[in-house]
Amino acid sequence: MLKQDQGAKGIQSKIGAALAIIPLSPNQWTLLSVIIALGAGVSIAITQNLILGLVLFALAGLCDIIDGAVARARNQASALGGFIDGVADRFVEGIFLFSLMFYPLPTVAGVDPRVWIALVIFLGTCMPSFVRAYADHKSVITKEQALAMGGICERSERLLIIIIGLGLGLFANMEYFIYALILVCILSAITILQRLLGVLANQPKVKA
């Protein structure tokens, strides 16, 4: 795993070095990812072109990789840049999921597919990050403990499951995508519980 991480960082460093000559700042690359995501959302929600939308979302994801790589290549990495990048990530993910509410998806177990998408946005995109940030904000855990807070289904796992579900949906049946959303809802709820229990476990013991 360590070798894979080092290999990925090496690739990102090469990408950053190659693209650092383009006159766009890291924050502008981040903004570009959101703009492309908006175009992708329009493609899915309004023109019903799912394939084009997914290609554009993939391009937005590439820009998200590029912004950090360029920042490191130019020695411009900063806490503010990381903050802007994190906020942009949530916007891109939110636009992606929200746009799918306007795409014709099959109903599974008599539940409107938009219910599962809304639950993924709430349980997956919003709540795990909120629990960590709010616990840190209220100083009930240390910043180090907040950063170390994990869970069974974080952003990378969540997006991987959704992508696999979409892939199966495109090549087989879109019901597989709905099943992937349901799985993400369940795992995200477990992640929230894990983080809440983690906060409680890090509280100082009260002497009797």
Query: For residue range 68-101, what is the model confidence (pLDDT) as tens digits?
Result: 888 888 787 888 888 998 899 999 999 999 999 9
Model pLDDT, residue 60? 92
Residue 18 has which token pair?
């190659």
Helix, strand, or coil (residue 166) = helix
Mean pLDDT value across residues 31-59 = 94
Domains identified in the chain and CATH numbers: 12-104 (1.20.120.1760), 107-203 (1.20.120.1760)
Average pLDDT over residues 29-52: 94
Only one residue has tokens 């990048």, namely 85
- Which 8-state DSSP code applies to residue 95? H
pTM here? 0.84
Sole residue written with tokens 């892939």: 167
Q: What pLDDT score was predicted for residue 51?
A: 93
Contacting residues for 157 by C-beta, under 8 A, at least 6 apart? 187
